[in-house]
Chain A
Amino acid sequence: MAKIPVQFRLNGSDRAAFVGPSDNLLTLLRRGLNDFGPKYGCGQGTCGTCTVLVDGDLQLSCLTLAATCEGKHVETVSGMAEGPVLHPLQQAFMDHFAAQCGFCTPGMLTAAKALLAANPNPTRAEVIDGISGNICRCTGYDAIIEAILAAARGGQAKRTY
């Protein structure tokens, strides 16, 4: 099957790859470009752990065809910190113990980042709605919600979005 060339920005860097017409973005990121931030949890868009931002929009990378990312900017959890300096959301997740096994965390952080970009001062209900596409099977939702609310209150959040 003929491969398709695709060029896009990944966390601020230009990347290029050849993909099959049915290859999804998650496989390209993980197996093609060695970005292991987004995880495979279900492959059918129900768990949210593969969540990435494509041109700022929340996308499930397991349901996104890699070839459609031509010319776009893909952001994953791997690009959230600026060097050794954690993103305020990452710091809030640490401060509030908002991870147990850590497997849903990349998707949770990405969903939270998109939420705060659109709504810098969400209510608790809006936070719950914002992460409703992400499953935490360790059921640590409360700490995650607290962490996102704290990051929003921290005010620094606005600057980086």
Chain B
Amino acid sequence: MLEFRKDLFAAERDDNLNIVGKGAQRQDMPGHVTGRSPFFDDHAFEGLLHLKVVRSPHHHARIRAIDTTAAERAPGVKRILRGADVPLNKNTLLSLINFGKDDEPTLAVSKVSYKGEPVVAIIAETEQQALAARALVRVDYDVLPHVFDVEEALKPGAPVVNETYPNNYFEYHDRYDHSKLRFGDVDRAFATADFIVDDRYQMSPIEHAPTETNGSIAAPEQNDRFVVHSCAQGLFFSLGTAAKILKLESNRLHFIGGTVGGGFGGKVDSLTEPLSILGAMMTGQPVRYVLDREEEMLYGSPRGAERIYIKDGILRDGRIVARRIRSYFDAGAYTRLSSYAAIKCTAHLPGPYTIPNVSADIYVAYTNRCPSTAMRGFGITAVDFALEVHMDKGAEACGMDPMEFRILNAYRDEDMKAHRRVAKNTALIECVQVVAEKAGWPLSDEARRQSSLTGGGGARALIPATPIDDNGRIGRPETRTGPATETLPAGAMRIPMTKQPIMEGSAEARPTPAAVPQYEPYRPTPASMPPAYQPMPAAPPPAMPPTAATAPPPAAAPAPAPAQPTQHGAVRFSSVFGTRRR
């Protein structure tokens, strides 16, 4: 049962709540219990046709020829769709917010890049007829070598999974093969650490397995429009995607949905809507395209698997002085939402802890596996699992209680986070205290006295001097590793415009970004407060002379940079992603 702790964060909470903590009936509940909730498939249409797709039996193959003549003559078949019938047969989901290059066909034309990739669509009067005709389609494949491992995929000479990204990595900012986070100097800090804890974590892809499979029904509506009953979790995202692929004005599509039979992230990809609508356009009749359970489990996009390497440098008193992370996000054959997941992951690091030196390289790698997509905290959940397992290992290494190790290293209000935003409303310490209490886990008095509200900021709010590097820069040989190329002075919020490493234009000669919006520079409070890294053990820790690596540089608050005009609207996305299409 929900419990409200009045003793925590009382000043930050409005207790005059109308809904929270009280029972309120959901407005869709009567429909659910009477079986009348209108899921996408719960609609009757006269003359409803059924669409089934022919899928690739190979992980990676060139398509030599497609023969549909026998299928066209099969009983009940009304129409067969191929890649050439799709008005814009290449798309990437996040192109709607100007992020990434179109890389995925609706129906494969020249090659298939994962087992189960749709090649041909068959529209027939009954499902059985569509399935029977599907067996008559002959596709002549030239099987290619495949790659399933994220690190193998990034090696020179690996099979090219996705021709849009010929090096098998997503290109960040048009210039890097990974998403980067740099804060302080991890190499120097590792040299001062008493313990190094280094490990590798491997996740598996996870299928959402919603009880309702992906699907949609599209039908011609009056006034040359199409009505679409959709399972989409993001109904207007799906509408925009369909409008782009079909080259239709969006006001010719009438999407109806919002009643979703379980999604969990697996219904944001518009897996069926474009083909249902195209089928309705081509036949003039209602068309229903629903994945069966086997298709849903095998070819409905899963949570992407991640491989995560974490290296921590820890002092004898339990403080983590450096954390380095290298992670590979398995996108499968096409981007979908993985590029965004990796950005979330980067922004989340190093987890809810204040660590003075952090470095992270997060890759999105293409493999010949089913494209992965959103799923409940994707980009965060897996790395959090790895981080927390790693925290336990760190506590073990320095002989500390794992709960107290977390409280000692927890972030606090006003601390500077590694991505140069100030921490606010932090509550990890309180969460650990409550969990320990509920679990009957003994905490020291000192640990119980700690609070997220105090002890943060001050020296912990300073941005340390940060070496930056060109590692992973696209188009330069041997850039995977290498020494730092320059050091940003303490207090630097971001790389100055003039030093943006790639302003000469991208590989594809797209126009360079006109301006990179800048955030309001943070002005740390004067370092009059004592450093608040309060060591937890009852015995005082050994005196630790501050070094450049363990303590933030002594430099006073830097002169604030002149405030830059803030931009809003769609351009803000391009500031997040660092690139702007067309």
Contact surface of A with B, Cβ cutoff 8 Å: 20, 22, 30-31, 34, 36-44, 46-47, 49, 76-78, 80-81, 86, 90-91, 93-94, 97, 99, 101-106, 109, 135-138
Contact A103 B293 (CB under 8 A): no
CB pairs A–B below 8 angstroms (14 shown): A31-B48, A38-B35, A41-B293, A44-B293, A77-B34, A86-B34, A94-B25, A99-B29, A101-B211, A101-B260, A102-B259, A103-B212, A109-B33, A137-B211
Q: Is B32 an interface residue when CB atoms closer than 8 A count as contact? A: yes
Which of chain A's residues has its CB closest to B33's CB?
A90
Complex interface: chain B residues within 8 A of A43 (CB): 292-293
For B248-290 the 0/1 string (1 means CB < 8 A from A) is 0000000000011111100000000000000000000000001
Contact A103 B39 (CB under 8 A): yes
- A89 CA / B29 CA spacing, docked (Å): 13
Contact A101 B261 (CB under 8 A): yes
Q: Is B144 an interface residue when CB atoms closer than 8 A count as contact? A: no
- A44 CA / B292 CA spacing, docked (Å): 10
Q: Is B534 an interface residue when CB atoms closer than 8 A count as contact? A: no
Contact B35 A37 (CB under 8 A): yes
Contact A94 B30 (CB under 8 A): yes
| Top 6 A-B pairs, shortest CB-CB distance | A102-B32, A103-B261, A37-B35, A36-B42, A77-B35, A42-B293
Which of chain A's residues has its CB closest to B28's CB?
A102
Q: Is B512 an interface residue when CB atoms closer than 8 A count as contact? A: no
- A137 CA / B261 CA spacing, docked (Å): 9
Q: Known pairs A97-B26, A99-B29, A99-B32. 19 more at Cβ < 8 A?
A: A30-B41, A39-B211, A40-B41, A40-B213, A40-B290, A41-B212, A41-B213, A78-B35, A78-B36, A80-B35, A81-B34, A94-B29, A97-B23, A97-B29, A101-B263, A102-B28, A102-B32, A103-B39, A137-B210
Complex interface: chain B residues within 8 A of A31 (CB): 44, 48
- A106 CA / B42 CA spacing, docked (Å): 13
Complex interface: chain A residues within 8 A of B44 (CB): 31, 34, 36
Contact A105 B262 (CB under 8 A): no
Given contacts A43-B292, A97-B26, contact A102 B37 (CB under 8 A): yes
CB distance from A129 to the nearest CB of B (A): 20
Which of chain A's residues has its CB closest to B293's CB?
A42
Q: Is B235 an interface residue when CB atoms closer than 8 A count as contact? A: no
- A105 CA / B31 CA spacing, docked (Å): 10
- A142 CA / B192 CA spacing, docked (Å): 51
Given contacts A44-B293, A94-B29, A135-B211, contact A103 B35 (CB under 8 A): no
Q: Which of B209, B261, B264 contacts A102 (CB 8 A)?
A: B261
Contact A39 B26 (CB under 8 A): no
For B318-356 the 0/1 string (1 means CB < 8 A from A) is 000000000000000000000000000000000000000
Contact A103 B42 (CB under 8 A): no
Which of chain A's residues has its CB closest to B29's CB?
A94
Complex interface: chain B residues within 8 A of A104 (CB): 211
Interface size counted on chain B using CB atoms at 8 A? 34
Complex interface: chain B residues within 8 A of A47 (CB): 211, 293
- A6 CA / B41 CA spacing, docked (Å): 24
Contact A101 B262 (CB under 8 A): yes
Contact B35 A41 (CB under 8 A): no
B-side binding surface: helix, strand, loop or mixed? Answer: loop
Contact B34 A103 (CB under 8 A): no
Contact B210 A36 (CB under 8 A): no
Which of chain A's residues has its CB closest to B296's CB?
A42
Q: Which of B26, B128, B262 contacts A137 (CB 8 A)?
A: B262
- A99 CA / B27 CA spacing, docked (Å): 12
Which of chain A's residues has its CB closest to B260's CB?
A101
Contact B262 A138 (CB under 8 A): yes
Contact B34 A80 (CB under 8 A): yes
Given contacts A34-B44, A41-B293, A102-B28, contact A76 B35 (CB under 8 A): yes
Complex interface: chain A residues within 8 A of B37 (CB): 102
Which of chain B's residues has its CB closest to A27's CB?
B127
Which of chain B's residues has its CB closest to A32's CB?
B44
Complex interface: chain B residues within 8 A of A136 (CB): 211
- A28 CA / B31 CA spacing, docked (Å): 22
CB distance from B25 to the nearest CB of A (A): 7
Contact A39 B212 (CB under 8 A): yes
- A77 CA / B42 CA spacing, docked (Å): 14
Contact A105 B33 (CB under 8 A): yes
Complex interface: chain A residues within 8 A of B42 (CB): 30, 36
- A44 CA / B262 CA spacing, docked (Å): 19
Which of chain A's residues has its CB closest to B23's CB?
A97
CB distance from B549 to the nearest CB of A (A): 46
Which of chain B's residues has its CB closest to A99's CB?
B32
Contact A137 B292 (CB under 8 A): no
- B34-77 contacts to A, CB under 8 A, are 34-37, 39, 41-44, 48
- A81 CA / B26 CA spacing, docked (Å): 19
Which residue, A37, A135, A137, has most C-beta atoms of chain B within 10 A? A137
Which residue, A36, A40, A90, A101, has most C-beta atoms of chain B within 10 A? A101
Complex interface: chain A residues within 8 A of B39 (CB): 36, 39, 103
Which of chain A's residues has its CB closest to B75's CB?
A1
Contact B34 A49 (CB under 8 A): no
Which of chain A's residues has its CB closest to B37's CB?
A102
CB distance from B193 to the nearest CB of A (A): 42
CB distance from A10 to the nearest CB of B (A): 13
Contact A137 B209 (CB under 8 A): yes
Complex interface: chain B residues within 8 A of A94 (CB): 25, 29-30, 33
- A37 CA / B36 CA spacing, docked (Å): 7
Complex interface: chain B residues within 8 A of A109 (CB): 33, 35
Given contacts A43-B293, A138-B262, contact A105 B35 (CB under 8 A): yes
Which of chain A's residues has its CB closest to B43's CB?
A36
- A102 CA / B42 CA spacing, docked (Å): 13
Complex interface: chain A residues within 8 A of B262 (CB): 101, 103, 137-138
- A42 CA / B213 CA spacing, docked (Å): 8
- A20 CA / B37 CA spacing, docked (Å): 29
CB distance from B60 to the nearest CB of A (A): 29
Contact B35 A106 (CB under 8 A): yes
CB distance from A34 to the nearest CB of B (A): 5
Complex interface: chain A residues within 8 A of B263 (CB): 101
Complex interface: chain A residues within 8 A of B259 (CB): 102
